[in-house]
Structure formats: structure tokens, C-alpha cells
């Protein structure tokens, strides 16, 4: 929340458009609510008291700034670029999600709302929302796909322990997309008293913009940490992309640094030549999902298709509209990594650095390893390690056992 | 290109008569059933038919219409099938107004210009797109005007100061969302509904119709004085769901259609 963005902010425009993408494709019932939110956010962001309170929570409660770790043994094992890890896994609750949840919940309180609702895929945003609700004295309902509830039972218990109510979404594919539909339906019904804390850079304007503003602290810290440690900018920055909030948060402060290559990594699931993937930017077409025009996995008639990834947090058929814009503008390169490659990367990081990464983040690690191999040892590559993998240990165990048994 | 006067404008020319607007999802439980249900509803007193195009992510809809959408999608129903149905209804001599209810993405993928050209060519009169607020409807409205089709705007109790802007731009009729939330039958309507409807009326020169949550003849009677038309969706779709098995069986279909016709007639006659 400083003045970097006032000089570099190009998008979105006043209609919430990132080039052709973004906008507000939502029921009329919600239009006033998003307009009020837009005004409230603009006021809050310029209010020194709000910024100070948020920064205080980020440092004294969340534990920011998170460190930048030189991954020496990983670098040596790969034998290429010098690899650094931005440690969002060390943020309170174990992922970058808290940065945004704190910002939005503080805004909810400022707007006089007593309850917050949230959607969650892997459970990380749900846990972050439940956490901030407890900290700020708000009630909290978390919508979660039934399939994800099964995959992430530990996070479900965590949310309940934190005092939140977890509501299963039983429609459609019973994953993040459907949890988001249910959260929007609840919001439409309770719009006067409820603040919807969206967990990624998706949804109608101003969410993609607001979430970026709350997450860009990742890239701002990284940029100054690299400059301080190495007296130069990195050559490449890699982050995973589901909805894409850690990636936007990481990339945004580097957008004007043309020498820094930016690479977003989607989930290829069982492979982009199969139907089981979540590679929206790689294989999708522009369409509307959850209030925003963006790349979308859909059939010919415009029905939204189910995404697949071993990582619940990347299992989403849409993507933030700013990523759609950055793809089309060519500023960011988007690639994809399979379930198997991500699992392999988990093991590599565990054994070289003693860090269990979230399955989401493992996609960035897998891609970074491929990239680093092709780069010389005087190059610097930073990975956004968006979350820790404790929540995924059971999934990883199941997958590795199945693999070994084949 | 537009030639004749749009049927919706003709329908509401006489504002003394209240209009009844049933909603049903195309292809629930089959396209054949939808065809016969629509014909029966017109005989039962429906003035305008709202045909829902099924969608995978119907975020303005409650569980009843979500399930109808799922059933229709399992039958592979697309926007094209909805247009074909309109054509068939017109060929069968049906003159009642027809409005499609569809989310925006299927329209976008079909092609906005092509969609409105086909609506006109196949005999539809308007479209309701619940996730296309006035801020985003420019390209659709431009194409619609060229082809003499009405893009029906929605206005909600939360629209507050937006009511006047929406009312001023409205064409065809103005769809008033009676309650906060998604579509679905409700036991009670908002206490301030009459006030809201009167404010909407004052904001616009086009007729108004009320929907979302109206399910009984008593509710129809209570709301009627404040509006030109009443839309009933989920309550009718519930009846269709209840009789789905019979509707799918050609031998039993006429009896099931007759039952739903009676249900619609009770609602439609409560309006006069």
C-alpha cells in the first residue's frame, strides 16, 4: 500500500476492464454492492489510518515481511540459475491468502458489515478468512465444494476450530467453481449485511483490482529483498496460477521492469492433451465466469467445463482477468505443469531444502526447475512459494502410494 | 431487420389488463414436453412465455431451476435448440410473446450479432440476461435494436438510485426482482415490495413485470395492483419436476400436461 502503484497502474480502467477483460457481469441485485465496495476501497486505500492498521496486522499478526530464501542445495542439484524462494508459506496460516483476507476483512469492518462469507478450494482462503473473522470479531461462513471437503478434511476442521461455519457446495463439479457460485447466491440473498471476501483476483470489478492491491506486497517485498541482497533485479520470476492471486501479487511490482521475465504456471492435471486439466490460459477461450470476462474452459456452446488438478487450489476453469490481459499483451508467459511433475517437485524441494511446499506452489517449482536448467549460473530466478504443504500431505501420500503400486 | 411491431409492445398496449408470464426451462424434461407445455400454458391464459436456456453455472437461480438446468443439459440442450423450439412454436400458430432467459456466456459464444438476428428470424421477441447489467449491455442492445428484439432489463430492491437510470433505458418491459436472492418459491414476499414497485413504475414509461419468489394465487393477487405483469418460474418448474417421468412418456404426457395447465390456469386467473 505505497505509492509505487500510482505511477505504474495502467489497468483496470474505470469500468474495471483490463484491456478487453474483466468488467461486472453480475445480477442487478449486486450492482449497488460492488459500486459501494469500489468507493469504500478507494477511500480506505487513501486513508492513512486504514493503511497503518493493515500494515500493523501484516507485520505483527501475519509475520510479514516473509523471508527470501536462497535455495542453495536446490540450485546445486539443478545446476543452472541461482534459485530464490519467496516464503509465503511462512505467512500466518501458511499461505499468501492471509494478505488479502486481512485487507478485505478490515474493509468489511470499516463498512459496518458484521458477517463475511468466502469461497475456498484448497481451504487456504477459507482458513485465512476464518482466521481474520476471529481476529476482527466478525461471523464467517465458508462455501466449499463437497469434493474439496473430502480432499482437504484437515483444513475443514481448522476452519471449524476457528469458529467458521463450513457450507458444502453440492452442485456441479463440487469444487471451487461451485463453491463460488454458492457464495455468490448467498451474497445476493444477504447483500445488505454481508461482505463477500473473494480469495483470488477473480469476480466482478473491483475484486480483481482490490485483491491485487492487497497481494502486491509479495512482489514489493521480493523486489526490494532481491535488490538489497544482490544489488540487482532477478532475471525471472515464476508463480503458479489458479485464479492467480499469488502470481499477480508477485508479478505486478515487476511489470515495468522489462528485464525481468515473468512466468505463470497453470495446472496441466493429467496432461493438456487429455480432458483432465486446469490449463485455462493455455487451452481456454474468452468467456464470462463469476462476473468477469476472461479466459475460460468451456464447450462450444459456452457451458463451463470442469477443471482437474491434483491441487484443489488450481482446480478452477477460469482465471483472473488481469492474467488474460497479461497473456494477450505478451508481458507474462504462461505454461503448464502436470500432476506428476508437481509431485516430483514436491519431493525435490523436501529433500534439497527441507520445505514441504503446497501442491499449488509445487507447480511453480517444477516449472522453475525446468527453466533454471536452461539458464546460466549468473542468472537469478525467484519462485513464489505461495503456501506450505502440510494440508496436502495425505493427498501426496495417496498419490505416491498409487504411483509406487503401478 | 425489424418490420412488424414487436409482440411485447402489442401485448402491453392495453395496460388495463394484467399479463401472466410463466417460465420454464427448455428441454426439461425433454424438448417435446416443453413444446406441449408451452402450448398448454398459452391455452391456460399465459400472455408471454419465458423460455430458460439451460446453463452450467446459473448463479442467479435457486435449487429448483438449477435442477431443471441440469436435467436439460443432460439432454444436451443448447441455445440452438431453444431457437429451434421458438421456430416450431411459431410454425404451430402460437402468437403469444416469447422471451428467452439466458446467461450471457452462451450468447457470447454463439455470437451477439448472430444471436439477435436469429431471435428475430425464429420468432422470439425479447431476451432476459440476468448477468448482463446496463453497464455491460451496450453491444447486445445495439444488435437487439437492429433486429427489433427487446433486451429486458432487471431492477432489484437494492438498485436504489440506479432505478431511474435503468427505467429510462428500459424497452419491452421492466423485470422487477421482487426479493433479494436467487429465483425460487418463497412463503412471504417483502413488506416493502409495493413501495419498490411503485417507485419502479414512476421511473419508466414501459410496463413492469414482477418475478422471483411468486408462487401462489394469493401472492399473485397481492402483487397485481402494483404491476402490469407477473412472472412465475420455480413454482411451475417444481410441477414439471414432479411430473417429469410422465412427461417423458408419450402415453402419459397429455395427462401430465393437463395437470400443469390447471396449475398455470389457477395462477393466471388470479391476476384478473
Rounded CA separation A126/A123 (Å): 5
- Phi then psi for residue A38, to 5 deg, are -60, -45
Is the Cα dihedral A123, A128, A132, A135 positive or negative?
A: positive
pLDDT greater than 50 at residue A4? no
Q: For residue B142, what is the domain's CATH number?
A: 3.20.20.70
Q: What pLDDT does B184 receive?
A: 83
pLDDT, one tens digit per residue, over A331-352 is: 999 999 999 999 999 999 999 9
Q: For all residues of chain B together, what is the average pLDDT?
A: 95
Q: Which domain holds residue B123?
A: 18-183+190-269
Q: What pLDDT does A151 receive?
A: 79
Nearest to A189 among B136, B166, B182 (CB): B182
Domains by residue range for chain A, with CATH: 24-60+97-207 (3.40.50.1100), 63-94+212-404 (3.40.50.1100)
Higher pLDDT: B17 or A173? It is B17
Higher pLDDT: A5 or A367? It is A367
Choice among A152-156, B110-114, B226-230, B259-263 with the minimum mean pLDDT? A152-156
pLDDT greater than 60 at residue B3? no
Residue A152 pLDDT grade (very low, low, confident, very high; cuts 50, 70, 90): confident
Rounded CA separation A382/A89 (Å): 14
Distance from CA of B49 to the nearest CA of A (A): 21
Q: How many domains does chain B have?
A: 1
Q: What pLDDT does B1 receive?
A: 45
**Spatial CA neighbour of B5 closest among B154, B172, B129:** B172
Those residues whose C-beta lies under 8 Å from the C-beta of residue B259, and which sit 6 or more positions away, are B239, B243
DSSP-derived secondary structure for A124-140: HHHHHHHHHHHHHT-EE
pLDDT greater than 90 at residue B42? yes
Asked, for residue B6, whether it belongs to a domain, the answer is no
Asked, for residue B7, whether it belongs to a domain, the answer is no
pLDDT, one tens digit per residue, over A278-299 is: 999 999 999 999 999 999 999 9
Q: What pLDDT does A403 receive?
A: 75
Active-site position among A24, A86, A97, A327: A97
DSSP-derived secondary structure for A263-313: EEEEEEET-TTSS--B-HHHH-EEEEETTEEEEE-B-TT-PBPPP--SSGG
Question: To 10 degrees, what angle do helices A28-46 and A97-110 make?
Answer: 100
Asked, for residue B1, whether it belongs to a domain, the answer is no
Give the number of other Cβ atoms within 10 Å of residue B117's Cβ: 16
pLDDT greater than 70 at residue B75? yes
Residue B5 pLDDT grade (very low, low, confident, very high; cuts 50, 70, 90): confident
Name the pTM for this structure.
Answer: 0.95
Q: Do residues B166 and B159 touch, judged by C-beta distance below 8 A?
A: yes
Q: What pLDDT does B37 receive?
A: 98
Is the CB of B108 less than 8 angstroms away from the CB of A287?
yes
Give the number of other Cβ atoms within 10 Å of residue B207's Cβ: 21
Give the number of other Cβ atoms within 10 Å of residue B139's Cβ: 13
Is the CB of B133 less than 8 angstroms away from the CB of A290?
no
Asked, for residue B109, whether it belongs to a domain, the answer is yes
* Helix and strand element counts for chain A (H, E): 17, 14
Give the ipTM of the model, two decimals please: 0.95
Mean predicted confidence (pLDDT) in B31-58? 98
Those residues whose C-beta lies under 8 Å from the C-beta of residue B31, and which sit 6 or more positions away, are B75, B77, B81, B85
Question: In the annotation, is B131 catalytic?
Answer: no
Q: What pLDDT does A404 receive?
A: 66
pLDDT, one tens digit per residue, over B143-199 is: 999 999 999 999 999 998 999 999 999 999 999 998 888 888 787 788 889 999 999
User: Is B35 in CB contact (< 8 Å) with chain A?
Assistant: no
Mean predicted confidence (pLDDT) in B62-68? 94
DSSP 8-state class, residue B174: E
Strands B174-177 and B208-211, bridge-based pairing: parallel
Rounded CA separation B102/B51 (Å): 8
b/e burial code for range A131-146 (CB count within 10 A of at least 16 → b): bbbbbeebbbbbbbbb
Amino acid at each position: 500500500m505505497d505509492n509505487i502503484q500510482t505511477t505504474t497502474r495502467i489497468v483496470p480502467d474505470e469500468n474495471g476492464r483490463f484491456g478487453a477483460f474483466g468488467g461486472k457481469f453480475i445480477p442487478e441485485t449486486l450492482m449497488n454492492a460492488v459500486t459501494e465496495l469500489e468507493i469504500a476501497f478507494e477511500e480506505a486505500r487513501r486513508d492513512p489510518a486504514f493503511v497503518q492498521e493493515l500494515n500493523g496486522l501484516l507485520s505483527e499478526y501475519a509475520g510479514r515481511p516473509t523471508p527470501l530464501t536462497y535455495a542453495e542445495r536446490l540450485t546445486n542439484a539443478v545446476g543452472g540459475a541461482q534459485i530464490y524462494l519467496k516464503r509465503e508459506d511462512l505467512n500466518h496460516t501458511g499461505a499468501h491468502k492471509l494478505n488479502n483476507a486481512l485487507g478485505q476483512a478490515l474493509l468489511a469492518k470499516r463498512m459496518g458489515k458484521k458477517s463475511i462469507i468466502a469461497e475456498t478450494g484448497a481451504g487456504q482462503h477459507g482458513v485465512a478468512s476464518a482466521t481474520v473473522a476471529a481476529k476482527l470479531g466478525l461471523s464467517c461462513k465458508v462455501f466449499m465444494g463437497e469434493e474439496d471437503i473430502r480432499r482437504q478434511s484437515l483444513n475443514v476442521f481448522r476452519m471449524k476450530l476457528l469458529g467458521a461455519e463450513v457450507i458444502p457446495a453440492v452442485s456441479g463439479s463440487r469444487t471451487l467453481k461451485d463453491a463460488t457460485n454458492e457464495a455468490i447466491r448467498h451474497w445476493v440473498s444477504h447483500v445488505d449485511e454481508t461482505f463477500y471476501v473473494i480469495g483470488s483476483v477473480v469476480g466482478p470489478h473491483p475484486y480483481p483490482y482490490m485483491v491485487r492491491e492487497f497481494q502486491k506486497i509479495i512482489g514489493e517485498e521480493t523486489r526490494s529483498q532481491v535488490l538489497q541482497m544482490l544489488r540487482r533485479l532477478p532475471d525471472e520470476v515464476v508463480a503458479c496460477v489458479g485464479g492467480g492471486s499469488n502470481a499477480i501479487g508477485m508479478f505486478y511490482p515487476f511489470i515495468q521492469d522489462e528485464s525481468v521475465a515473468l512466468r505463470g504456471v497453470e495446472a496441466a492435471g493429467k496432461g493438456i492433451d487429455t480432458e483432465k486439466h486446469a490449463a485455462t490460459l493455455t487451452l481456454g477461450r474468452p468467456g464470462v465466469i463469476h462476473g468477469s470476462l476472461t479466459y475460460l474452459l468451456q464447450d462450444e456452446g459456452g457451458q463451463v467445463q470442469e477443471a482437474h488438478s491434483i491441487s484443489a487450489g488450481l482446480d478452477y476453469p477460469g482465471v483472473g482477468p488481469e492474467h488474460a490481459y497479461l497473456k494477450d499483451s505478451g508481458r507474462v508467459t504462461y505454461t503448464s505443469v502436470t500432476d506428476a511433475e508437481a509431485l516430483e517437485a514436491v519431493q525435490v524441494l523436501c529433500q534439497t531444502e527441507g520445505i514441504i511446499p503446497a501442491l499449488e506452489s509445487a507447480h511453480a517449482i517444477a516449472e522453475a526447475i525446468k527453466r533454471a536448467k536452461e539458464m546460466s549460473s549468473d542468472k537469478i530466478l525467484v519462485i513464489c512459494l505461495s503456501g506450505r504443504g502440510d494440508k496436502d500431505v495425505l493427498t501426496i501420500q495417496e498419490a505416491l502410494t498409487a504411483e509406487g503400486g503401478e | 431487420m425489424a418490420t412488424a411491431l414487436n409482440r411485447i409492445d402489442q401485448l402491453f398496449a392495453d395496460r388495463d389488463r394484467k399479463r401472466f408470464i410463466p417460465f420454464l426451462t427448455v428441454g426439461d424434461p425433454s424438448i417435446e414436453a416443453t413444446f406441449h407445455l408451452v402450448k398448454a400454458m398459452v391455452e391456460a391464459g399465459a400472455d408471454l412465455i419465458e423460455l430458460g436456456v439451460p446453463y452450467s453455472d446459473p448463479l442467479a437461480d435457486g435449487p429448483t431451476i438449477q435442477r431443471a438446468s441440469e436435467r436439460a443439459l443432460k439432454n444436451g440442450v443448447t441455445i440452438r435448440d431453444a431457437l429451434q423450439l421458438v421456430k416450431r412454436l411459431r410454425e404451430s400458430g402460437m402468437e403469444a410473446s416469447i422471451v428467452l432467459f439466458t446467461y450471457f456466456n452462451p450468447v457470447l459464444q454463439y455470437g451477439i450479432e448472430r444471436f439477435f438476428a436469429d431471435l428475430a428470424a425464429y420468432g422470439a421477441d425479447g431476451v432476459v440476461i440476468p448477468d448482463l447489467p446496463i453497464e455491460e449491455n451496450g453491444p447486445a442492445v445495439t444488435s437487439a435494436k437492429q433486429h427489433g428484439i427487446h433486451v429486458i432489463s432487471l431492477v432489484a430492491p437494492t438498485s436504489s438510485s440506479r432505478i431511474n437510470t435503468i427505467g429510462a433505458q428500459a424497452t419491452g418491459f421492466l423485470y422487477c426482482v421482487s426479493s433479494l436472492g436467487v429465483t425460487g418459491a418463497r412463503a412471504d414476499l417483502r413488506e416493502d415490495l409495493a413501495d419498490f414497485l411503485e417507485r419502479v413504475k414512476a421511473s419508466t414509461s414501459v410496463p413492469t413485470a414482477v418475478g422471483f419468489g411468486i408462487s401462489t394465487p394469493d401472492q399473485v393477487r397481492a402483487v397485481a395492483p402494483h404491476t402490469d405483469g407477473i412472472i412465475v418460474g420455480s413454482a411451475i418448474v417444481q410441477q414439471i419436476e414432479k411430473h417429469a417421468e410422465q412427461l417423458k412418456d408419450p402415453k402419459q404426457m397429455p395427462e401430465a400436461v393437463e395437470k400443469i395447465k390447471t396449475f398455470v390456469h389457477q395462477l393466471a386467473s388470479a391476476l384478473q
